[in-house]
């Protein structure tokens, strides 16, 4: 999978992209993630990316042209034909595990992470009219100073669902909000060593090596939403 992140603060992603399983997935060529600085597509002398909002509204808005030009350049430069453009934004289209399973199967994803008051609405109009694969997505019903963090949430969410990123398939197939359970489950309690701590013991069934009974215990102790 290729992920192209369009942002005015690419440095925010540096640590995230070079840590843990995200880094390993890139090293194994399972995942290719590239940050694109929208500011590089500003044509004015001082690379000004934002401006005041018409109608005397509060805050500053990211201009439309640099965003449009940066995304169009990504499509052209990488010769993309099969791709999704995802605008992380306040929206009634809320992400869940099932949607992320579908996105994890995509070949190319272009992420747009906004900042400040937001972006010029003509960006949405342009991509909605030109491409059928433009989607607004929200990770939940709240507003942040920028959507770099939701971009990271989205990337981590879908990356762990890509085969071979996590070694044990059961770790994500039978996780909380499993598609197989119609996203109506919370995973069962889990324990590690030592077998007792401050008087709390690991349930006897989990150290019995009785596979069938352990599976039954896990099923019985999963929480239903």
CATH number for the domain harbouring residue 105: 3.40.1280.10
Instruction: Provide the number of structural domains found in the chain.
Output: 2
Q: What is the pLDDT of residue 172?
A: 56
Q: Which domain does 95 fall in, by range? A: 2-159
Q: Are residues 100 and 19 in the same domain?
A: yes
Question: Would the pTM count as exceeding 0.85?
Answer: no
Q: Are residues 153 and 182 in the same domain?
A: no
Residue 107: other Cβ atoms inside 10 A = 11
Q: Are residues 106 and 13 in the same domain?
A: yes
Q: Are residues 149 and 78 in the same domain?
A: yes
Asked if residues 58 and 117 have their Cβ atoms less than 8 Å apart, the reply is: yes
Task: Give domain status of residue 164, yes or no.
Answer: no
Edge-first strand listing for the sheet containing 84-88 = 32-37, 2-7, 108-113, 84-88, 134-137
Q: Are residues 133 and 191 in the same domain?
A: no
| pLDDT tens per residue across all 225 residues of the chain | 999 999 999 999 999 999 989 999 999 999 999 999 999 999 888 888 988 888 877 778 889 999 999 999 999 999 999 999 999 888 888 888 888 888 999 999 999 998 876 788 999 999 999 988 888 888 888 777 788 999 999 999 899 888 888 776 555 556 666 666 666 667 788 899 999 999 999 999 999 989 999 989 988 888 765
Q: Are residues 196 and 136 in the same domain?
A: no
Task: Give domain status of residue 185, yes or no.
Answer: yes
Task: Give domain status of residue 165, yes or no.
Answer: no
């Amino acid at each position: 999978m290729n992920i192209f992140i369009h942002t005015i603060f690419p440095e925010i992603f540096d640590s995230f992209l070079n840590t843990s399983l995200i880094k390993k997935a890139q090293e194994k060529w399972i995942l290719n993630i590239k940050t694109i600085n929208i500011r590089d597509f500003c044509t004015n002398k001082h690379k000004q990316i934002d401006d005041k909002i018409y109608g005397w509204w509060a805050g500053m808005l990211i201009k439309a042209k640099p965003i449009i030009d940066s995304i169009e350049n990504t499509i052209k430069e990488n010769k993309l034909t099969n791709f999704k453009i995802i605008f992380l934004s306040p929206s009634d289209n809320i992400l869940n595990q099932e949607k992320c399973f579908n996105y994890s199967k995509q070949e190319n994803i272009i992420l747009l992470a906004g900042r400040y008051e937001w972006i010029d609405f003509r960006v949405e109009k342009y991509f909605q009219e030109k491409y059928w694969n433009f989607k607004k997505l929200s990770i939940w019903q709240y507003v942040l100073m920028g959507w770099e963090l939701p971009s990271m949430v989205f990337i981590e969410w879908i990356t762990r669902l890509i085969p071979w990123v996590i070694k044990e398939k059961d770790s994500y197939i039978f996780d909380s909000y499993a598609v197989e359970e119609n996203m109506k489950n919370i995973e069962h309690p889990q324990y590690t060593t030592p077998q007792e701590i401050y008087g709390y013991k690991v349930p006897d069934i989990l150290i019995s090596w009785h596979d069938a009974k352990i599976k039954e215990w896990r099923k019985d102790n999963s929480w239903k939403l």
